[in-house]
Amino acid sequence: MDKAPPHFAGAACDHDWHPVLPSSAPDAAEFGIILSSRGGRRLYERSVESSGRGAPLDRVLCPVFMAEVAEETLKLLCERWDFLEQADATDH
């Protein structure tokens, strides 16, 4: 996860909004798995077109948005890691 933000350094976009990702871990994981393959992305696009629900794929995969998501995820993972280390240190 810590390798993602530098990959998107200097990214720019002209979107006026970015999507809200699923708030539950299982839903977010499923969404990531769907978007991880060309076929999954194609299915996602078809679903958005047919249902009228969901963000356009270009906004979901926007490099600026991906950088924001990666940075926030890394921050949360580090916070949780620190919490678990502190809890482990006090258990001994």
pLDDT reported for residue 1: 60
pTM over 0.85? The answer is: no
What mean pLDDT value characterizes the chain?
Answer: 89
Which parts of the chain register pLDDT below 70? Answer: 1-2, 4-5, 91-92
pLDDT reported for residue 11: 86
Residue 68 in contact with residue 8, Cβ under 8 Å?
no
Could you say which DSSP state residue 53 is in?
A: -
Q: Which of 18, 42, 19, 44 is nearest to 31 (CA)?
A: 44
pLDDT tens per residue across span 71-86 = 888 898 899 999 998 8
CA distance 88 to 11: 39
pLDDT reported for residue 18: 94
CA distance 12 to 62: 9
